């Protein structure tokens, strides 16, 4: 876990790993999308503009969803809801607002919507692959306790550590997973690591009595899945997408919805949902949104399979 990569000398500005990986992911996705658009004889600058608007609207939507789902973290600290650089984004929320805003942009400038959305879907998975590596470095989006050989162990004071030593009503867990002695608290708040005695520090380090329990590296699972989906979607676009634009977008909704539903069974950070809109009562919010994504993808595939292309694309 390395939430801070380094600090800029003299300026005392820390460069965050989460934000850095988001930037790397965006640039990698943009490079790929521009290459695809050039091959199609389209203006690559257009996809750059669309991608930038998608990024900005996506970050807003992802943060809003995260704050809503984890509102208890911001009680008494409302301004921290705007601290995106500290991590805490819900990809599904970003996808919903991002797609909506991009659709409006494409409609306003009379651009081929299905073509652009197909290319953006591929780029989105590339960006997500890098972004999830940022999640690992930041310590968010952690998994459930596990003893698999590749399980990871987050440090004292990390989000995973907090989740294990405290009850979690949002996940129907009335008791902590294990008890931390009262000597680690001051006025009910967990002490900073530097405030601990040498003995206490040893107890919370790897192999100690009170170290964080090992968990599934769900961030890495998510990253591998995202890169894999990007490759699959690119293949679909090469063989089908040119003749049936919009198919890639529909497949992205279905495939990511299924993958996210599975990943949620291994994660331990998202709250469960029983509201009226939840199809899967007792599943996480993201699992329910994943189900809706699959349904949406099936509808899109049905519609786009019978519609003609919006324009004639040039061949390589």
Domain positions in the chain: 4-144+216-306, 162-204
Burial 173-200 (b: 16+ CB within 10 A, else e): eeeebeebeeebeeeeebeeeeebeeeb
Q: Which of 210, 89, 86, 218 is nearest to 143 (CA)?
A: 218
By three-state DSSP, how is residue 119 classified?
helix
- Across the range 245-254, mean pLDDT stands at 94
- Which pLDDT score is estimated for 312? 52
Most confident of 50-59, 179-188, 242-251, 257-266: 257-266
Cα dihedral 139, 141, 143, 144 in deg (nearest 10): 100
Query: Helix crossing, 285-306 with 91-108: angle to 10°?
Result: 30
At 208, give phi and psi (nearest 5°). -80, 170
d(CA 215, CA 229): 24
Which pLDDT band, with edges at 50, 70 and 90, does 241 fall under?
confident
Confidence at 88, pLDDT banded by 50, 70, 90: low
The predicted pLDDT at position 97 comes to: 78
Q: Please give the model's pTM, rounded to 2 decimal places.
A: 0.87
For position 235, what pLDDT does the model report?
96
């Amino acid at each position: 876990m390395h939430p801070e990569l380094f600090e800029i000398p003299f300026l005392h500005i820390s460069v965050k790993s989460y934000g850095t990986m988001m930037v790397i992911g965006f640039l990698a996705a943009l490079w790929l999308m521009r290459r695809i658009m050039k091959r199609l004889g389209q203006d690559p600058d257009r996809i750059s503009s669309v991608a930038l608007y998608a990024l900005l609207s996506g970050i807003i939507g992802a943060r809003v969803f995260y704050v809503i789902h984890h509102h208890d973290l911001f009680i008494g600290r409302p301004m921290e809801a705007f601290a995106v650089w500290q991590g805490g984004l819900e990809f599904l929320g970003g996808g919903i607002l991002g797609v909506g805003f991009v659709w409006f942009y494409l409609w306003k400038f009379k651009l081929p919507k299905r073509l652009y959305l197909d290319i953006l879907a591929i780029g989105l998975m590339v960006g997500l692959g890098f972004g999830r590596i940022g999640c690992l470095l930041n310590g968010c989006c952690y998994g459930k306790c596990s003893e698999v050989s590749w399980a990871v162990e987050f440090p004292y004071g990390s989000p995973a550590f907090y989740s294990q030593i405290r009850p979690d009503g949002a996940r129907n867990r009335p008791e902590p997973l294990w008890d931390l002695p009262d000597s680690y608290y001051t006025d009910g708040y967990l002490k900073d690591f530097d405030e601990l005695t040498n003995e206490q520090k040893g107890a919370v380090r790897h192999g100690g009595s009170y170290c964080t329990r090992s968990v599934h590296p769900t961030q890495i699972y998510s990253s591998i899945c995202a890169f894999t989906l990007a490759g699959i979607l690119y293949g679909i676009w090469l063989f089908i997408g040119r003749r049936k634009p919009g198919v890639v977008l529909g497949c992205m909704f279905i495939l990511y919805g299924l993958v996210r539903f599975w990943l949620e069974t291994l994660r331990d950070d998202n709250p469960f949902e029983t509201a009226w809109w939840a199809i899967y009562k007792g599943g996480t919010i993201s699992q329910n949104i994943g189900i809706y994504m699959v349904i949406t993808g099936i509808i899109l595939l049905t519609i786009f399979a019978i519609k003609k292309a919006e324009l004639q694309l040039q061949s390589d």
